[in-house]
Amino acid sequence: MFPRNRANVLMTIAPIMPNNEDEMNDLIAVQKIAGWEKLKTLVVDSVSSPITKRVYNMALDEFLGWFQQAPRPGFTKATVSAWRVSLEDRRLGSSSIIIRMSAIRKLAAEAADNGLLAPELAAGISRVKSAKTQGIRTGNWLSQRQAQALLSAPDISTLRGLRDRAILAVLLGCGLRRSEVAALMFGHLQQRDGRWCIVDLVGKHGRVRTAPMPTWVKVAIDAWTVPASVVDGHVFRSVNRADRVTGEGMGEKVVWQLIKPYADMAVFANKEVDAWETMVAALVRAGFVVSASWPIQTERTGRMRSNNSAALASSVWLVCKKRPKTAPVGWEENVVASMKRILFDPRDALGGLNILQYYFDLGIQGPDFIWAALGPALEAYSAHPYVKKTEGGMMKVDEFLREVRKLVLHFSLGELPGFRDVQKETQGRGESLEIDPVTQYYLLHRAYFKLDPAPAGACILFANACGKNETELKVVWNILEQGGKQKKGRPRKDEDDIEDATEEAPEGKGNEYRLLAWQERASADGLGENRSGNPAPLIDKLHRLMFLFQQNRTVEVQQLFEAWGLSNEKAFKPLLQAVRELAVRDKQDAERRLVEALATQLRMNRKTVVVADEMKEVPLFDSVEDAGQMQIN
């Protein structure tokens, strides 16, 4: 019950000059909370919007807390003016102050209308000026890159991720409120004049409006509703931990809760190997688990530098969340097996592709491809506070990343001409791909950087993924040259090779490496022989045979071919095909003709394939016209 006279109404807030001191004390001790809640009810019930109800309730509770901090002269104009000054001292924005002052004025008006406050006091409070709005604040806007990163954050290999991406798309592309997203029905999605719209949407204060829907938003919605088998009613539904759709809808608070984690992203632009290892180790120590990742193109494809260099073109965005305190310790075998499942298992949401094939088909190339794959792989490692080895000790971050890079490199190698049949046999896992590290490096470097100077960081990444370092590739195997400028003492090119170099190769810098052409290394003494106890790389043997064959020393070619046992080398034919196709792409006609002639001389210009369950023998090399259309990502 409310007190009978107006003066005692304010006693529910604080002692304000009561007529009867004993009555005031009893009221504060017994009826203070109940009385204040009844006063708030008068204000909240006077508005219809649930958002306004929530904001007014918050504003009145703030006012009560401030009122009780110090003695006040009662609920008067002076008290409300002091409240406004305190809001300004907190450096709140004008809109925040205006809405808090509106709640207080509403409280005074409702109290006066219900006979609980003198009309003259209510009139005085209503005259307290609120904050002035000077200009329009731009607020925080997402850039196109940030919006793209936010849309890419959900893991679209799950129904939950598809739903979350669709919700983000609607919020960003259509400008809907959380409550409107939760209330969105299939009946709202209609086509008008060939364009998709959200029709007759009931929004704030019951206002009805129609919002245009970009095509990419509709695509995101369809990508969620089709696999979820949601065809009518609410567009967005709850998804349980088993990744199954439950219920008939969701509340606006649920929309806020599921969207909030995607705002916690780590953007890492440094692509040095050591920097990545340090960053991942710090994430694990800080208790974060990588929940999603996405490569974002951060360089314009038409920029001048991209046309004349192999500069890296993308950054990797990692979406992280706090690891549960109950997360168990990981074991090396289980973590590596989980990483392989994440990378290689087909996903229905990706059209039956695994994540590596999906990235590859998107055109992510070279070192960017390796960086892009690290994000999904880190989900397996970062899920544990640390990872133990069965034989004792810990599996460190650098060891895990080295294993990931090796698998991704094998997948990349399997996409090269000549190795695609092996890729089909191993599903891209690379377990049975037997080819030495130096040859792997040569093929990958040439496939993605050609013979032009390439960034040192990318070369180091490829070398480490192959189990080598750039120093060994330069000094021991004579594959790389720093700076890109041909050094003195290199053998002069023959007339047949001049047509392969119509333009002088661009001069590199000290932080770049250049792959040596076969002519620059073929005449070196001992090429194709074992060095420092290490077997000779297959690419060395091929380059040596090419050099001898060009010199018309066919007898030596045949002798070395038989001595090295290349007829039984499974990777030699794929290597011949890959080098020939790369020469076609790079317009190295002399090299192409030489490889073709060498293959004919060695009777290795045919291969056996299975067509319609039948074994057939076909030429090893495609026609020049077909090979010229080859694309290597």
pLDDT: is 513 or 626 the higher one? Answer: 513
Is the predicted pLDDT of residue 490 greater than 60, yes or no?
A: no
- For 488-531, give the DSSP string: TTPPPPPHHHHGGGSSPPPP--TTEEEEPPHHHHTTSTTTTS-B
| Structural tokens at position 624 | 């020049």
Quick one: how many helices (H) and strands (E) in the chain? 28, 15
CA–CA dist 24, 355 (Å, integer)? 71
Pick 426 or 51 by higher pLDDT: 51
Contacts of 470 (CB under 8 A, 6+ apart): 456, 459, 460, 463, 480, 513
More confident residue, 519 or 366: 519
Q: Minimal CA–CA distance to 438: which of 537, 543, 534, 576?
A: 537
> Domain 144-263 falls in which CATH fold?
hpI Integrase; Chain A (1.10.443)
Mean pLDDT of the chain: 78
- Dihedral sign for Cα 489, 495, 496, 502, please: positive
One-letter amino acid identity for 367?
P
Distance CA 559, CA 220 (A): 62
**Mean pLDDT for the stretch of residues 75-97:** 87
| CA count, 13 A, side-chain hemisphere, 379 | 19
Task: Please enumerate in sequence order all residues whose Cβ is within 8 A of that of 308, keeping only pairs 6 or more positions apart, or say none.
Answer: 452, 506
Q: What is the pLDDT of residues 171-214, one digit of tens each?
A: 888 888 888 888 899 999 999 888 899 998 887 777 888 889 99
Which regions of the chain carry the CATH code 1.10.443.10? Answer: 144-263
Place of tokens 């009560």: 64
pLDDT of residue 381: 93
Encoded tokens for 551:
């010199």
pLDDT of residue 280: 81
Average pLDDT for residues 267-293, to the nearest whole number?
74
pLDDT band at 498 (very low <50, low <70, confident <90, very high): very low
- In this predicted structure, which of 28-42, 304-318, 508-522 has the lowest mean pLDDT? 304-318
Interval 534-589: pLDDT, tens: 889 999 999 999 999 999 999 999 999 999 999 888 888 888 988 998 898 888 89
Q: What is the pTM of this model?
A: 0.54
Angle at 607 between CA 603 and CA 612, to 5 degrees: 155
Give the best-scoring range by mean pLDDT among 181-190, 601-610, 611-620: 181-190
> Is the Cα torsion angle 531, 534, 536, 538 positive or negative in sign?
negative
Which one, of 75, 191, 168, 89, lies nearest residue 128 by Cα?
75
Do residues 216 and 173 lie in contact, with contact meaning Cβ atoms separated by under 8 Å?
A: yes
Q: What is the pLDDT of residue 388?
A: 94
Half-sphere exposure (Cβ direction) of 192: Cα atoms closer than 13 Å: 12
Is 468 in contact with 513 (CB distance < 8 Å)? no
pLDDT band at 311 (very low <50, low <70, confident <90, very high): very low
Q: Is 241 or 263 the better-scoring residue by pLDDT?
A: 241
pLDDT of residue 447: 87
Q: pLDDT band at residue 416, thresholds of 50, 70 and 90?
A: confident
